Structure 1
């Protein structure tokens, strides 16, 4: 389980799963930020 935090600085987070074998680097997904009302990059935080 990893937490994805918005790069827009709104504090919005998503929780998802990832495989450490297939994705050893930090995960970056483009998802919807309801506070910013647009799609932004969400980066994995540890």
Structure 2
């Protein structure tokens, strides 16, 4: 089997406890990831940051 550079990470909302899972490429993404996504509990778009 081939090794992959993909890693599964947890993204956590900055305004609530909403979380979701996504994958990143470890070779090209060296810093922490931040995305603006829809938060179901707040019913608006908020910033999600990469959790540990």
TM-score (structure 2 length as normaliser)? 0.82
Residue in structure 2 matched with residue 12 of structure 1 by the alignment:
18
Gaps of at least 5 residues in structure 1 are: none
Q: In the aligned structure 2, how far is the partner of 1:28 from the partner of 1:20? A: 15
Bigger relative CO (Cα 8 Å, ≥ 6 apart): 1
Gaps of at least 5 residues in structure 2 are: 1-7
- Return the index of the structure with the highest Cα Rg: 2
Pairwise CA distance, 1:20: 1.1
Q: How many residues align?
A: 45
Residue in structure 2 matched with residue 3 of structure 1 by the alignment:
10
1:1-46 to 2 correspondences below 5 Å: 1-8=8-15, 10-46=16-52
